Structure 1
Amino acid sequence: MRSSTYFFYLLTTIRFWARVNAGELCTHDDSFIPDAVLRVTAANYSQSCYPAKHTVLVNGTSPGPELRLTEGETYWIRVYNDMLDANLTMHWHGLSLAVSPFADGTPLVSQWPIPPAHFFDYEINVPHGMAGTYFYHSHVGFQAVSATGPLIVDDLDIPYEYDEDKIIFLQDMFTKDDAVIEKGLVADPLVWSGQTAMILVNGKGGGISHVTAGDATCNSTLSMVSVEPGKTYRLRFIGATALTFALLAFEGHDSLTVIEADGSYTQPYNTSILQIGGGQRYSVLLTTKAAPEKSSYFMQVESRDRPSVARSFAVLQYGLKPATKPMNPLTAPLTLPNITRGFLDDLAPLHPSRDFPTSAEVTRRITLTVHQKVSGQTVWLQNAYNWTDSFPQTPYLVALYENTTNTTTNPGLPYPSLERALANNGIDPVTRTFPARLGEVLEIVIQNTGADKGGLDIHPFHAHGAHFWDLGSGNGTFNGTANDASWAARGHQPPLRDTSMLYRYATSTGNGTAMGWRAWRLRVTQVGVWMVHCHILQHMIMGMQTVWVFGDEEELLGRVGWPEVEGYLAFGGDVYGKETHAPRVVHFKGNERGNERGGAWAEGQRVSFWRGGGGVG
């Protein structure tokens, strides 16, 4: 060990030891039973009627198995990387993992990825008040297009009445292999992935169909959502799409009531359609017909704000499943409207929060300006910087613990400087991160701008860590005074979200011209390194992601010291289990866990697997 590194570890131990109140180092040998097991493989796999291609699967399917947790509990989920030639992580989308700093599943930020033939035990703590609809997905490259599945956190006290809940899981399917797509997105010149070939609903779809005509060439069967007459269902919509901004509706059922957005309950909001971008989730109440005119009704889903319209279907099936499986209709039963900018921006929380910060409490406003640079390699920038596999070379949290000196192979990164950030509109240009201190109240404005060649795009922006209060969106630039007045007129607080849409208000504009904003307000309470990124996978690979560092050095690194974290600091370190050895991991919540509960999960009593490639019914 280099003497400078050893000196840092010694200082870390002395400086922070008194602060550590958790962080017990434990060996997960054969006596340890995880609460759930996910095994990730890659295989030639056919989705709907398209030819088989190399696809990353979870427990042999896409989407993967449904996980159900309960708020107020801590779980251990073991993720095996059974792929032969690819790294892996698993991110728990929408859950704030402030308790377990290495468990967020971000390979450039919170952990080294899981190497092939290794596994990693994720500690998932679900605080009270986080019941809702979530999902999990890999955060490596383009794997999340298929390596993904639903995650539901059950309530201890459900505020709405319904008879049953159903999951509607939306994905994209592309004809190119993932590796070909990734290579093209970082090539010079850019080789685009192509548009969505099919929108999948619970793993099935009806193929691409443009607005002018139906498509009867695909003989694939459709997903069925089975219902009974005169009952109320909670439909949990999960936007796990890579590219598609989806708009959907049900044939013959135009009364939908939104009750949850991104894991937060809302006051009931009636709508006949639903718009859902990548990363967003909604729960909607649907009351079925007491006397249905027929047994099968279509759900129609279409893409928006893309060069072509992809259209797919699922079936709302009353009573017994039909003798013949449902097929893609020859003509679309519905004419869906165009995109509604600002859709559901005025949702009201079910209960007002005492933590909601007023504009008077805002300590500073940060404008995160997104821009596409197309001279040379096409990249997406945030405040003139991108975040890709080449930067940083070490996961940032790992680099902070190591505090490595500058070398050719591992340059290391210092702790972000708030002073540098204040001089550069919030971003520290050395680390390319946005630092903030505990207790700050940030007003974050995400500003859309015209690309070098004038183009504009939409972006579903997702924040890891604590959820933000979503202040809405608009054209041009943000006016805080007008926005405050708008919320005052509505008479309620903004909703809590973790993913919201940055719209475009034209297809093109001048290079760098500001056109379209999304504003958030966040009270900084959770120490950690948190990614903020567009949830379009193509844009992420092209650099449209950045990192927020909350807390000072002592607060962030003082939660657990050396030598407990040693296994997390090396690629393939001893925190990563293998057939030849059990992992040594830190229990950030202590060593009290329910092995009885773990045993039940291991026997499949609480992990429900979708059959037939993910269909529900």
Structure 2
Amino acid sequence: MLFPKSFLPLLPVFIASLVGVVNAAGVVTHDENFIPDAILHITEGQQKQSCVPTKNIILVNGTSPGPELKFKEGETVWIRVFNDIPDQNLTMVSSLSPRPCANCPSPLYEFPHTCFFESENHWHGLTMATAPFSDGTPQAAQWPVPPNHYFDYQLHVPIGMAGTYFYHSHIIETGRPPYAYDGERFLFLQDNFPDNDTVIEHALLAQPMAYEKAQTMILVNGKGGGLTSEGTVCNESLSVINVQPGKTYRMRLIGGTSLAFVSLAIEDHKNLQVIEADASYTDIHSTEFMQVAPGQRYSFLLETQSHPAKQQYFIQLETRDFGPPTRSYAVLNYVNGYNSSTGPFYPPATPPLTLPPTDTYFLDYVLCPLSHPEYSATDVFPTAEEVTRRVNITFHLDITGNGGLVYLINNYTWNEGLVQQPYLVSLYENNGLEWPSMERALQNDGLDPVIYAFPAAIGEVLEIVVQGTGSANGGMESHPWHAHGAHYWDLGGGDGVYNQAENEAKWAYSTGKPVKRDTTMIYSFQGQTGIGQLMGWRAWRLRITEPGVWMIHCHLLPHMVWGMQTAWVMGNSTEVLGRVPRPEVEGYLTYGGSVVGNATHPAQPVDYFPYSVWGTGGAGGGQ
């Protein structure tokens, strides 16, 4: 049974009548009696996006962005993802899409239809709440889904994980949010480019590198218009955010861009009250503008005017850092008490706002975790005295002899030739890939260079320092670093080299406290330094509690393509592989195994959560 398309934009979940209770993780058959909590069909098609020519893009249920999903804390849900692209492999997409590569650099993922190129596709921010093979990252956790097949992703959402996530907007709700508001609105940001993904990928990997184009426009909820990066004016219609006077709205701001850093503000609405960062509730912090990087999510409360002077106010967005700036708009539209048109609306002739330059300490050292006792986290921030080990992740952009670009992490680069199958699969198969060696890692700032992974032991408290360097020409760029797995406590960032004592002192005098995040910034600061000189850092603290294989990387598409990513292996072999032993996982260990279904046979996944309910109506139910 499929959900009708009209139902897909909002998917509240309820538990269907109980038919059976799974007492232990085991293989289940999702036959015609099973009803997923959500169904997503991934296709590729020609579509016109604002300010760029019509081109092939990836669509979710026929749209870009895809439909909103809503689930509640404490529930286990199944999301069925159909790969309806006839010539491409797929894992669940977040901000980017899989695409074919005609000249693959290695045999990895060479299948009859295509070679699979993957950057960073997963249930963004929810990885610790998923089953081991449901993270959505093929080089770490799972094989991609073959064409004309489907995969049932199981997500368990523990209490305390309420917040904003995305594949293309994905919300986990609490029974009662800690802040009162009258409604919520989305600001889902994307950047678009004049070329399609295949052209961009090939040019980025070319020798010499051959893609220097910036994003053309920033889209809000799929639409945008204004000043393009080419310096031209794009006069296309804008997204409309409808509000009523005298109300409070939760604005969910999602950085779904692949390159652009975006600053935004709202005309004549200067009090934006931040209440969430990367799915962590915070005490209220007021700001006049927002700054969001790829992969980041924020919620802020917007109090609308009781007696607005006009019906429409512009939301102004500008890009920073990469390439010539773009300026885009959306419209905040007051709908109560007016008889004027509700659209379409177009960009203004002159910008109504002057946005500030990049704030290299935006919200750092001022945000505080929510102090309300009913919503406070049960885990406690580990102090510097509890840290058992420091891990240094030092990255450097180098130029190959033929003019290509490559990122090195601790002097090694990630590429598709590193592993011939996903890490987790290889560890189960024990087919030549060694278990990460802590001894080797300790000699290389935490990285085992033999298998290019960072091992961690359960019970450790790590201080992780992501440190930038001057590139091969001395240049510096900004980087939003994202970690799959458990959210880390963000210790802030700065210019130069990390110094723990100085940073601890900074917190002692700051107004904020470390907040749990999953995507935080290393800024370019001076923009230029000596080749290889340490410059620009971000520090995290992480208590290792959950075994698994997780990715960690910069969230910029070109940087991932050039190798700015690696893997964590947390826990020993017994802890990682013993969670669900063989033979239950056999269907996950081969490409096209029994865990994927198609028109001729049902999927047979593992139900990982012994308390999940399933039977007629599946793990959850639909309406």
Please give the TM-score of this superposition, normalised by the length of structure 1. 0.88
Deviation at 1:375, TM superposition (A): 2.3
The residue number in structure 1 matching 2:418 is 391
Question: How many Å separate the matches in 2 of 1:60 and 1:565?
Answer: 32
Find the partner of 1:52 among 51, 54, 69: 54
Q: Secondary structure at the match of 2:530?
A: coil
Supply the AA of the counterpart residue of 2:272.
Answer: L
Cα distance per residue 1:378-428 (max 9 Å; x no partner): 1112111222322222100000001114xxxxxxx1110111101111000
Cα distance per residue 1:332-362 (max 9 Å; x no partner): 1111110001101121101365521000000
Q: Secondary structure at the match of 2:123?
A: strand
Deviation at 1:188, TM superposition (A): 1.2
Percent identity between matched residues is 53
Q: Is 1:402 the equivalent of 2:433?
A: no
* Change over 3 Å in CA distance of 1:275–1:290 after alignment to 2: same
Alignment of structure 1 residues 47-86 onto 2, 5 Å: 47-86=49-88
Q: Name stretches of at least 5 consecutive residues in structure 1 with no aligned partner.
A: 1-19, 137-148, 406-412, 604-617
Deviation at 1:590, TM superposition (A): 3.0
The residue number in structure 2 matching 1:151 is 170
Q: Secondary structure at the match of 1:27?
A: coil
* Change over 3 Å in CA distance of 1:599–1:418 after alignment to 2: closer
Q: Is 1:478 the equivalent of 2:509?
A: no
Find the partner of 1:333 among 329, 352, 367: 352
Question: How many Å separate the matches in 1 of 2:615 and 2:249?
Answer: 33
Question: How many Å separate the matches in 2 of 1:344 and 1:597?
Answer: 44
Alignment of structure 1 residues 60-459 onto 2, 5 Å: 60-90=62-92, 91-97=122-128, 100-136=131-167, 149-192=168-211, 194-209=213-228, 216=233, 218-319=234-335, 322-346=341-365, 347-351=367-371, 353=377, 354-376=379-401, 377-405=404-432, 413-459=433-479
The residue number in structure 2 matching 1:509 is 529
Aligned partners of 1:224 and 1:317 also within 8 Å = yes
* Change over 3 Å in CA distance of 1:570–1:506 after alignment to 2: same
Deviation at 1:452, TM superposition (A): 1.0
Supply the AA of the counterpart residue of 2:608.
Answer: F
Deviation at 1:493, TM superposition (A): 3.0
Question: How many Å separate the matches in 2 of 1:492 and 1:44?
Answer: 47
Supply the AA of the counterpart residue of 2:555.
Answer: H
Residues 202-211 or 225-234, more deviating:
202-211
Question: How many Å separate the matches in 1 of 2:450 and 2:619?
Answer: 47
Question: How many Å separate the matches in 2 of 1:554 and 1:521?
Answer: 25
Question: How many Å separate the matches in 1 of 2:219 and 2:514?
Answer: 32
Q: Pairwise CA RMSD of aligned residues?
A: 1.8
Q: Secondary structure at the match of 1:183?
A: helix
Residues 93-102 or 455-464, more deviating:
93-102
Please give the TM-score of this superposition, normalised by the length of structure 2. 0.87
Deviation at 1:98, TM superposition (A): 5.3
Question: How many Å separate the matches in 2 of 1:582 and 1:434?
Answer: 37
Cα distance per residue 1:245-267 (max 9 Å; x no partner): 11000011111000000001001
Supply the AA of the counterpart residue of 1:391.
Answer: L
* Change over 3 Å in CA distance of 1:433–1:323 after alignment to 2: closer
Aligned partners of 1:37 and 1:602 also within 8 Å = no
Q: Is 1:519 the equivalent of 2:539?
A: yes
Aligned partners of 1:99 and 1:589 also within 8 Å = no
Question: How many Å separate the matches in 2 of 1:123 and 1:52?
Answer: 35
Residues 252-261 or 537-546, more deviating:
537-546
Supply the AA of the counterpart residue of 2:439.
Answer: E
Question: How many Å separate the matches in 1 of 2:617 and 2:249?
Answer: 28
Cα distance per residue 1:538-573 (max 9 Å; x no partner): 111111111111101110000111111111011111
Deviation at 1:51, TM superposition (A): 1.8
Supply the AA of the counterpart residue of 1:55.
Answer: I
Question: How many Å separate the matches in 2 of 1:81 and 1:233?
Answer: 36
Question: How many Å separate the matches in 2 of 1:594 and 1:576?
Answer: 19
Q: Secondary structure at the match of 1:104?
A: coil
Aligned partners of 2:76 and 2:612 also within 8 Å = no
Aligned partners of 2:274 and 2:287 also within 8 Å = yes
Deviation at 1:310, TM superposition (A): 1.1
Question: How many Å separate the matches in 2 of 1:324 and 1:547?
Answer: 47
Deviation at 1:595, TM superposition (A): 5.9
Aligned partners of 2:522 and 2:536 also within 8 Å = yes
